[in-house]
Structure 1
């Protein structure tokens, strides 16, 4: 079975939608890891345990996303070689990016696990929550290598137009994750550590099985013994392309961590409400994230084939799709916000705050959609250097606005979610300016 897809000819919108749908399925399944953890922890262990797990979210994402950024950069290179038709260099990029990802993932796993408790204290996590938070973070961050491996193989398959194969393995892993959550937390009574172990083991299994299958005989990317050799130039190219995206992701995570620290200062109810709103937001973001990846691959292949005008048409189609989805979600939040948040927690105060919070941020999902689609386009063209500008904008906005807005007496903790809204608006404006400048036209990664 060959699931590769050449997107250099045919209807642009059709290609993007057909490619994005399996990505969306995979992203939604991946989010079930977090949602199932939240449901099991919140319902079985209580609001305090949920707050403890939620307090680790932004910093854990920071370590994960550094590895994810390198994978995205490698995927840009592979997609452009695929569009160009240079299979030899494509295989070299796959092999050398695997080495970079493995080394980086292991280093991050070790550092993040050792630094867990000091980081949580720096984040102003309440003392009575530090214990559970540290346990969850050490296990979750210790599995960063597994997260890096899965996102790397996912990026490689996406680059050659295959968004279906990773979905199959992730689906199996999601079922396993749900079963292990119930076993570890409910049956074996392992507490928050059980939820963390369930997620890490499921992610690792998904990565290992997908890699073995995808590089098997007759698969889309067929690596021979001759291809397995270090290429210093290719490694540097992978680092040069992926590092700005990794740093961007890191900067965004730092800004999210700073916002989490502000949130922690408002007590357990606000912390739990923020955790719930973030879980819902992460779920809603998946269509945007899928469009991001689809546009990146579509753009990379067409840039490699010398069809920049076709790449622009793909971006315009994706922007229309993301805008329609954004306003549909806002209507759903207005009508059913309280019922959605009540699925995660039982406390009336937490539900009250969280249900209003998701409506506030829902008003700006159109801007979030623009960020994702334009970012995917610019990454696909090879203009990954812009990622640093994008990341810096989010850091400045989230840190600065959160301190200003939450200090205003009549705004208070609502400033947490208003900060997110204004950050999306400003970052979207910066992204549009970069696109309109046309600098991306001369940024192709391949010669």
Structure 2
């Protein structure tokens, strides 16, 4: 196997003079805004389709089953979001490492990093699935899920956890494609899986009457389809990121570097979800109507936030490749233009969501009481998304340089600290839904102020490309 692996490396090395042809988006030369948008838009659509897995579940259960079923899925959203954010964050480590090797034209290291990433994803996914099954009930109890909703919520969560290995593989496989500039293949794979998920959701509920369990099972099955499509695609690649099953191995030096960059990024995403667990418990204390309204509004807002995430990951990948190539001025220009473009897109979409809040909420539940409460969440969260632009872009740039830990620690202090403190002080004094929602823009504002200083500090001290391994 080792001889085969080395021969594969030599074969890829012979393609070095044609290396640029494998970069579907040239991140190292020429204009930045156009290629960045071309990179980010498929990635954003991929994020929307990822959310469609949960959105389809929410729509089908809310319209055709019951408010309790809708609330059950809503109670799982913070837990699922926490784990998905973990996978996405750790996979960014693979994205950064592979992209930097590509920028440096180091073909041998790129190939080894690709194969290590794949096996690391599989191990990570199985581990999370096992831990999730063991902790499903305690996590729901920590959210103070009402007794009437608990059986449905636990059923959905346990079945959903069976798909965690597929979610891990899909995110890492997507990261491998993104590192080379290809964001279309992950989108195509997820489009196929999302279409299957919608059809199976409707069949499970309307034809077989399987309810929550059926919807969760079809979602897990669809996740495996998306992971399989990307696996087959990587095995048939003709470029630097081709996956050879016989060469898959976990090399410690590469795995260590991926985790060094990826785990803090995953923690940063999880911090948002961890604070949301506390917030979800507070929301649950206000009753089923508020729970359903919050679930509907969350589904809308998360489909907008994926655009911020997409541009943040675009900045990460562009900075990674240019940092690998030693072009620091272009790295800084990427960050500046990323802020500009993302701010324009975010302000426009946020305004539209706030203007059309009522009809959007009615898609999920036409109960006037649910719409009134959901509108509050849209105004307080989506209305302040412009603050998150600084968080996603500056954090993405720092990850591209290899500095994932500082923004992650900052999030732990500001996001978790502000929100949890707010819930146990202001919410206790005035237990309303609006009081809970104010904690979001407050925590974002605190994060932005400190993150700008941290970013400027690290940028001044980055003078040359570091050796990764």
TM-score of the superposed pair, with normalisation by structure 2: 0.91
Question: Is contact 2:268-2:407 (8 Å) kept?
Answer: yes
Displacement after TM superposition at 1:206 (Å): 0.6
Pick the aligned partner of 2:425 from 388, 399, 404.
404
Question: Is contact 1:68-1:246 (8 Å) kept?
Answer: yes
Whole-angstrom distance in 2 between the partners of 1:316 and 1:219: 31
1:183 lines up with 2:203 in the alignment: yes
Displacement after TM superposition at 1:6 (Å): 2.8
1:394 lines up with 2:415 in the alignment: yes
Whole-angstrom distance in 2 between the partners of 1:349 and 1:226: 58
Question: Is contact 2:279-2:436 (8 Å) kept?
Answer: yes
Whole-angstrom distance in 1 between the partners of 2:319 and 2:138: 42
Cα deviation per residue 1:255-274 (whole Å; 9 max; x = unaligned)?
11111111111111111111
Question: Is contact 1:6-1:301 (8 Å) kept?
Answer: no
Question: Is contact 2:44-2:306 (8 Å) kept?
Answer: yes
Pick the aligned partner of 1:325 from 314, 326, 345.
345
Pick the aligned partner of 2:48 from 17, 24, 28.
28
Instruction: Single out whichever of 42-51 and 149-158 deviates more from structure 2.
Output: 42-51
Question: Is contact 2:52-2:194 (8 Å) kept?
Answer: yes
Displacement after TM superposition at 1:330 (Å): 3.3
Equivalent residues in 2 for 1:327-346, closer than 5 Å: 327-346=347-366
Question: Is contact 2:36-2:314 (8 Å) kept?
Answer: yes
Other-structure match for 1:143: 163
Displacement after TM superposition at 1:40 (Å): 0.4
Question: Is contact 1:63-1:112 (8 Å) kept?
Answer: no
1:446 lines up with 2:468 in the alignment: yes
Cα pair distance change 1:93/1:168, threshold 3 Å: same
Pick the aligned partner of 2:281 from 258, 261, 265.
261
1:298 lines up with 2:318 in the alignment: yes
Consecutive unaligned residues of structure 1, counting only runs of 5 or more, are none
Cα pair distance change 1:347/1:397, threshold 3 Å: same
Equivalent residues in 2 for 1:359-398, closer than 5 Å: 359-392=379-412, 393-398=414-419
Displacement after TM superposition at 1:160 (Å): 0.9
Displacement after TM superposition at 1:237 (Å): 1.7
Displacement after TM superposition at 1:346 (Å): 2.2
Displacement after TM superposition at 1:220 (Å): 4.9
Whole-angstrom distance in 2 between the partners of 1:2 and 1:361: 40
Q: Any idea what SS the aligned residue of 2:365 has?
A: coil
Question: Is contact 2:119-2:249 (8 Å) kept?
Answer: no
Question: Is contact 1:330-1:362 (8 Å) kept?
Answer: yes
Whole-angstrom distance in 2 between the partners of 1:445 and 1:338: 53
Cα deviation per residue 1:391-443 (whole Å; 9 max; x = unaligned)?
3122112211222232233x722122111121222222222121111356268
Equivalent residues in 2 for 1:242-257, closer than 5 Å: 242-257=262-277
Whole-angstrom distance in 1 between the partners of 2:375 and 2:466: 44
Whole-angstrom distance in 1 between the partners of 2:467 and 2:186: 25
Other-structure match for 2:92: 72
Other-structure match for 2:129: 109
Cα deviation per residue 1:108-161 (whole Å; 9 max; x = unaligned)?
101102221122112110011100000011011221111101000001100111
Whole-angstrom distance in 2 between the partners of 1:364 and 1:227: 47
Q: Any idea what SS the aligned residue of 1:66 has?
A: helix
Q: Any idea what SS the aligned residue of 2:181 has?
A: coil
Q: Any idea what SS the aligned residue of 1:115 has?
A: helix
Cα pair distance change 1:438/1:217, threshold 3 Å: closer
1:82 lines up with 2:90 in the alignment: no
Whole-angstrom distance in 2 between the partners of 1:293 and 1:176: 27
Question: Is contact 2:119-2:248 (8 Å) kept?
Answer: no
Displacement after TM superposition at 1:9 (Å): 0.4
Equivalent residues in 2 for 1:111-260, closer than 5 Å: 111-224=131-244, 227-260=247-280
Pick the aligned partner of 2:374 from 346, 354, 359.
354
Whole-angstrom distance in 1 between the partners of 2:437 and 2:52: 23
Whole-angstrom distance in 2 between the partners of 1:166 and 1:56: 25
Pick the aligned partner of 1:428 from 427, 448, 451.
448
Question: Is contact 1:296-1:377 (8 Å) kept?
Answer: yes
Displacement after TM superposition at 1:5 (Å): 2.4
Cα deviation per residue 1:272-320 (whole Å; 9 max; x = unaligned)?
1111111111011111111011111111000001111111111111111
Whole-angstrom distance in 2 between the partners of 1:345 and 1:48: 12
Pick the aligned partner of 2:117 from 97, 101, 105.
97
Whole-angstrom distance in 2 between the partners of 1:332 and 1:234: 44
